[in-house]
Amino acid sequence: MEKYRIVLASASPRRKQLLAQIGLTFTVCPGEGEETLQKESPQQAVEKLSRQKAEEVFGRMPDSLVIGADTVVACDGNILGKPKSEEEACRMLSMLQGKKHEVYTGVTVVWPAAGRAEGQKFTFHECTQVEFYPMCAEEIAAYAATKEPMDKAGGYGIQGRCAAYIKGIAGDYNNVVGLPVGRLYQELHKRALV
Protein backbone atom coordinates (compact mmCIF):
# COMPACT_ATOMS: atom_id res chain seq x y z
CA MET A 1 0.00 0.00 0.00
CA GLU A 2 1.63 3.25 -1.13
CA LYS A 3 1.70 6.19 1.30
CA TYR A 4 1.62 8.75 -1.51
CA ARG A 5 0.18 8.97 -4.97
CA ILE A 6 3.16 7.90 -7.11
CA VAL A 7 3.90 9.75 -10.34
CA LEU A 8 6.43 8.65 -12.95
CA ALA A 9 7.90 11.76 -14.58
CA SER A 10 8.72 9.93 -17.82
CA ALA A 11 6.92 9.01 -21.03
CA SER A 12 9.16 5.95 -21.50
CA PRO A 13 7.06 2.82 -22.03
CA ARG A 14 9.99 0.76 -20.73
CA ARG A 15 10.15 2.66 -17.42
CA LYS A 16 6.39 2.31 -17.10
CA GLN A 17 6.63 -1.49 -17.60
CA LEU A 18 9.49 -1.81 -15.10
CA LEU A 19 7.68 0.19 -12.41
CA ALA A 20 4.52 -1.87 -12.93
CA GLN A 21 6.61 -5.06 -12.77
CA ILE A 22 7.52 -4.40 -9.12
CA GLY A 23 3.87 -3.90 -8.19
CA LEU A 24 3.67 -0.13 -7.70
CA THR A 25 0.50 1.75 -8.61
CA PHE A 26 1.32 5.02 -10.35
CA THR A 27 0.30 7.58 -12.92
CA VAL A 28 2.46 9.00 -15.71
CA CYS A 29 3.15 12.72 -16.06
CA PRO A 30 6.22 13.38 -18.26
CA GLY A 31 8.51 16.29 -17.49
CA GLU A 32 8.20 19.17 -19.93
CA GLY A 33 11.66 20.68 -19.55
CA GLU A 34 14.41 20.70 -22.17
CA GLU A 35 17.05 17.98 -21.75
CA THR A 36 20.49 19.48 -22.23
CA LEU A 37 23.85 17.92 -21.46
CA GLN A 38 26.71 20.15 -20.36
CA LYS A 39 30.36 19.16 -20.06
CA GLU A 40 29.70 16.84 -17.13
CA SER A 41 30.53 13.30 -16.15
CA PRO A 42 27.86 10.74 -17.13
CA GLN A 43 27.04 10.31 -13.42
CA GLN A 44 26.52 14.06 -12.91
CA ALA A 45 24.54 14.38 -16.15
CA VAL A 46 21.98 11.65 -15.36
CA GLU A 47 21.57 12.79 -11.76
CA LYS A 48 21.03 16.40 -12.85
CA LEU A 49 18.55 15.49 -15.62
CA SER A 50 16.58 13.13 -13.35
CA ARG A 51 16.44 15.85 -10.67
CA GLN A 52 15.19 18.44 -13.18
CA LYS A 53 12.39 16.11 -14.36
CA ALA A 54 11.30 15.12 -10.85
CA GLU A 55 11.37 18.69 -9.49
CA GLU A 56 9.47 20.10 -12.48
CA VAL A 57 6.66 17.53 -12.17
CA PHE A 58 6.59 17.84 -8.36
CA GLY A 59 6.06 21.59 -8.85
CA ARG A 60 2.84 20.72 -10.71
CA MET A 61 1.83 17.83 -8.40
CA PRO A 62 3.14 18.74 -4.92
CA ASP A 63 0.97 16.19 -3.10
CA SER A 64 2.65 13.26 -4.91
CA LEU A 65 5.78 11.16 -4.71
CA VAL A 66 7.46 11.86 -8.06
CA ILE A 67 10.06 9.60 -9.69
CA GLY A 68 12.28 11.16 -12.36
CA ALA A 69 14.86 9.18 -14.35
CA ASP A 70 17.32 9.73 -17.16
CA THR A 71 19.66 7.32 -18.96
CA VAL A 72 22.81 7.90 -21.03
CA VAL A 73 25.43 5.66 -22.58
CA ALA A 74 29.11 6.46 -22.12
CA CYS A 75 31.79 5.14 -24.48
CA ASP A 76 35.40 6.28 -24.85
CA GLY A 77 34.72 9.49 -22.94
CA ASN A 78 31.65 10.38 -25.03
CA ILE A 79 28.14 10.69 -23.60
CA LEU A 80 25.53 9.33 -25.98
CA GLY A 81 21.92 10.37 -25.58
CA LYS A 82 19.08 9.53 -27.97
CA PRO A 83 19.92 9.72 -31.68
CA LYS A 84 18.03 12.33 -33.68
CA SER A 85 18.38 10.50 -37.02
CA GLU A 86 19.20 7.10 -38.50
CA GLU A 87 22.63 8.45 -39.44
CA GLU A 88 23.31 9.48 -35.85
CA ALA A 89 22.13 6.04 -34.64
CA CYS A 90 24.58 4.42 -37.07
CA ARG A 91 27.43 6.61 -35.75
CA MET A 92 26.60 5.64 -32.18
CA LEU A 93 26.35 1.93 -32.97
CA SER A 94 29.63 2.08 -34.91
CA MET A 95 31.25 3.52 -31.80
CA LEU A 96 29.78 0.79 -29.55
CA GLN A 97 30.20 -2.31 -31.73
CA GLY A 98 32.86 -4.77 -30.59
CA LYS A 99 33.49 -2.86 -27.34
CA LYS A 100 32.46 -2.41 -23.73
CA HIS A 101 30.64 0.72 -22.63
CA GLU A 102 28.69 1.94 -19.60
CA VAL A 103 25.00 2.72 -19.21
CA TYR A 104 24.14 5.21 -16.47
CA THR A 105 20.67 5.89 -15.15
CA GLY A 106 20.03 8.67 -12.67
CA VAL A 107 16.95 8.52 -10.46
CA THR A 108 15.46 11.28 -8.31
CA VAL A 109 12.51 10.89 -5.98
CA VAL A 110 10.70 13.95 -4.56
CA TRP A 111 7.88 13.73 -2.02
CA PRO A 112 5.88 16.12 0.21
CA ALA A 113 7.49 17.48 3.36
CA ALA A 114 5.73 19.63 5.95
CA GLY A 115 6.82 23.25 5.66
CA ARG A 116 9.01 22.67 2.59
CA ALA A 117 7.45 23.69 -0.72
CA GLU A 118 10.25 21.94 -2.64
CA GLY A 119 9.58 18.67 -0.74
CA GLN A 120 12.17 16.13 0.33
CA LYS A 121 14.30 14.32 -2.22
CA PHE A 122 17.06 11.87 -2.88
CA THR A 123 19.05 11.15 -6.02
CA PHE A 124 21.26 8.23 -7.03
CA HIS A 125 22.71 6.71 -10.18
CA GLU A 126 23.33 3.16 -11.27
CA CYS A 127 25.98 2.01 -13.75
CA THR A 128 25.94 -1.18 -15.84
CA GLN A 129 28.67 -2.27 -18.23
CA VAL A 130 27.54 -3.68 -21.59
CA GLU A 131 29.71 -5.40 -24.20
CA PHE A 132 28.72 -5.64 -27.87
CA TYR A 133 29.76 -8.26 -30.36
CA PRO A 134 31.32 -6.79 -33.50
CA MET A 135 28.76 -5.49 -36.02
CA CYS A 136 29.44 -4.87 -39.70
CA ALA A 137 28.21 -1.71 -41.44
CA GLU A 138 25.31 -3.60 -43.04
CA GLU A 139 24.11 -4.94 -39.68
CA ILE A 140 24.32 -1.47 -38.14
CA ALA A 141 22.37 0.11 -41.02
CA ALA A 142 19.73 -2.65 -40.96
CA TYR A 143 19.22 -2.22 -37.20
CA ALA A 144 19.03 1.58 -37.47
CA ALA A 145 16.46 1.22 -40.28
CA THR A 146 14.09 -0.60 -37.88
CA LYS A 147 13.65 2.78 -36.05
CA GLU A 148 14.09 0.91 -32.75
CA PRO A 149 17.15 3.02 -31.81
CA MET A 150 15.36 6.36 -32.12
CA ASP A 151 14.07 6.83 -28.56
CA LYS A 152 16.87 5.04 -26.75
CA ALA A 153 20.10 6.28 -25.18
CA GLY A 154 23.09 5.09 -27.19
CA GLY A 155 20.84 4.18 -30.11
CA TYR A 156 19.91 0.65 -29.02
CA GLY A 157 17.42 -1.33 -26.96
CA ILE A 158 18.93 -4.28 -25.11
CA GLN A 159 15.44 -5.78 -24.78
CA GLY A 160 14.75 -5.49 -28.52
CA ARG A 161 16.41 -6.66 -31.74
CA CYS A 162 19.79 -5.42 -30.55
CA ALA A 163 19.87 -8.39 -28.13
CA ALA A 164 21.48 -10.30 -31.04
CA TYR A 165 24.62 -8.17 -30.59
CA ILE A 166 24.94 -8.16 -26.79
CA LYS A 167 27.94 -10.21 -25.68
CA GLY A 168 27.45 -9.64 -21.99
CA ILE A 169 26.55 -7.28 -19.19
CA ALA A 170 27.96 -6.62 -15.72
CA GLY A 171 25.42 -5.08 -13.38
CA ASP A 172 21.68 -4.44 -13.41
CA TYR A 173 19.96 -5.43 -16.68
CA ASN A 174 16.91 -3.28 -15.85
CA ASN A 175 19.21 -0.27 -15.55
CA VAL A 176 20.09 -0.72 -19.23
CA VAL A 177 16.40 -0.98 -20.12
CA GLY A 178 15.89 2.38 -18.38
CA LEU A 179 15.19 2.09 -14.65
CA PRO A 180 17.09 0.22 -11.89
CA VAL A 181 13.86 -0.82 -10.19
CA GLY A 182 15.47 -3.12 -7.64
CA ARG A 183 17.64 -0.32 -6.26
CA LEU A 184 14.76 2.17 -6.54
CA TYR A 185 12.47 -0.08 -4.51
CA GLN A 186 15.14 -0.64 -1.86
CA GLU A 187 15.79 3.13 -1.58
CA LEU A 188 12.03 3.80 -1.23
CA HIS A 189 11.63 0.97 1.30
CA LYS A 190 14.48 2.05 3.58
CA ARG A 191 12.91 5.52 3.80
CA ALA A 192 9.51 3.93 4.54
CA LEU A 193 8.00 5.48 1.39
CA VAL A 194 6.52 2.16 0.19
Catalytic residues: 70
Strand, helix or coil at 160? Answer: coil
The residue among 69, 64, 71, 70 whose CA lies nearest residue 27 is 64
Give the pairing type, strands 166-170 and 78-80.
Answer: unpaired
Residues near 152 by beta carbon (within 8 Å), at least 6 away in sequence:
82
- Exposed/middle/buried for residue 92 (C-beta within 10 Å: 0-12, 13-18, 19+): buried
Q: What's the first-to-final CA gap in the chain, in angstroms?
A: 7
